[in-house]
Amino acid sequence: MSASQDQSCAKARHDAKKSTPPTQSRSLLKRAIRPLNLTLTAALVAASMGIMAFGQASSQTDLSLASSTSGKSDQAPGQNKDSAPIATATPTPTADPTATTTAAPAPTATATTTPTPAPTATTTAPAPTTTATATSAPLASTSTPVPTGVPGTWSLKFDDEFNGTALDGAKWSNCWFSPTCGTMNKVTTSPANVSVSGGNLVLNLSSSTSGSLISTNPNGGASTGYQFTTGYVEARIKFPGDGTNLYNWPAFWTTGQSWPANGENDIAEVLSGKMTVNYHSSSGSHNQGTVAGDWGNSFHTFGLDRKATSADVYFDGVKVKSYATDDGNAPQYLVLNVGASGSSPAAYGTASQVQVDYVRAWQ
């Protein structure tokens, strides 16, 4: 009998004692005992049989559970007492493939993520190229010549680099008022003494009577030529000399169509073996004196910054002379020549050569 059945019967008996009078209790008890005994006996028998059946069912269930649990590897240990030993007997390597399977995607995800930055690096790589196209601009700007050491904003108007094999007839006349070829600085100006080679203009004094001259005078033989009023002109020249004195009577100068009214600027003129600067106009000759230094046997730049009423002369980008002018700012053209001198050391042929690397003019 179960504990709950015992408590129910005891309560029933207790309640019966409280509700039945003492006089009737014995007779009633006698009458009730018999059926009650039968009922209790039957209940006890039924209960005993139920317990036995329950025990058999439990055993069968346990056996069924045990047989169904054995051989399965997906049941975690500790779910019930009966299955615990079976789970413990399950080989542990069964869990390893699961772990391997779970771990396998991780490298895949990592491998997929790792290559992702590569396209970003490739995308940024073209920037240096762009950066590499944007660096050619300064080269183009430096190819445009500018005056040597002279401040200001200049626009190149005339340029001859003498890179050909003959004098450019559009820019120059090859003698003093071609084709008659007059006399200048005590010599005739012969086209035979003018040549272009090795990137230089070459002017010769072939004898004491035959020299050379070129000019940009459009009225003196240059088909186009060049004349200017205000602006800057420059030439890079090598004058011949012996280290102490310069030879002959060479000069780089500008002059107008009507001399001396239109003026004359002797930018670099050899007198008595020395380099000098001079100016001529209707008011007379204005000798600016010598320029100290050795100006022979190597290339130097010689330039004139011509203004409306004054002029500045530059040697190698340094201002060496400055003077007033009174020529009315008339147009002037460029002249380079070699003549004979009675006061400078004389040299002829190759020793007399004046070489000119370039002539340029800006405004």
Please state, in angstroms and rounded to a whole number, the distance separating the CA atoms of residues 276 and 268.
6
How far apart CA 83 and CA 80 sit, in angstroms, is 6
Tokens representing 204 are 């010769």
How many Å apart are CA 347 and CA 207, to the nearest integer?
9
Q: Provide the CATH number for the domain formed by 156-362 in this structure.
A: 2.60.120.200
CA distances from 116 to 105, 108, 285 (A): 17, 13, 84
Rounded Cα distance between 218 and 358, Å, is: 19
Q: How far apart are CA 275 and CA 251, in angstroms?
A: 9
Where exactly are the structural domains of the chain?
3-69, 156-362
DSSP code string of 224-250:
S--EESSEEEEEEEEB-B-SSSB-SEE
Pairing type for strands 156-160 and 264-271 reads unpaired
**pLDDT confidence of residue 24:** 45
Which one, of 232, 249, 363, 239, lies nearest residue 303 by Cα?
Answer: 232
pLDDT in tens, the chain (363 residues): 444 444 444 444 444 344 444 444 444 444 444 544 444 444 444 444 443 444 444 444 333 333 333 333 333 333 333 333 333 333 333 333 333 333 334 433 333 444 444 444 444 444 433 333 333 333 333 478 999 999 899 999 999 999 999 999 999 999 999 999 999 999 999 999 999 999 999 999 999 999 999 999 999 999 999 999 999 999 999 999 999 999 999 999 999 999 999 999 999 999 999 999 999 999 999 999 999 999 999 999 999 999 999 999 999 999 999 999 999 999 999 999 999 999 999 999 999 999 999 999 999
| Nearest alpha carbon to residue 244 among 205, 274, 276, 267 | 274
pLDDT at 304: 98
The pTM for the full model equals: 0.63
Phi first, then psi: give them for residue 119, nearest 5 degrees: -60, -35
Q: Is 196 helix (H, G, I), strand (E, B) or coil?
A: strand
Backbone angles phi, psi at 39, to 5 degrees: -65, -45
Contact (Cβ atoms closer than 8 angstroms) between residue 245 and residue 345: yes
Helix (H, G, I), strand (E, B) or coil at 214: strand
Q: How far apart are CA 119 and CA 184, in angstroms?
A: 76
Q: Look at residues 320, 325, 319, 289 and name the one whose alpha carbon lies nearest to residue 306.
A: 325
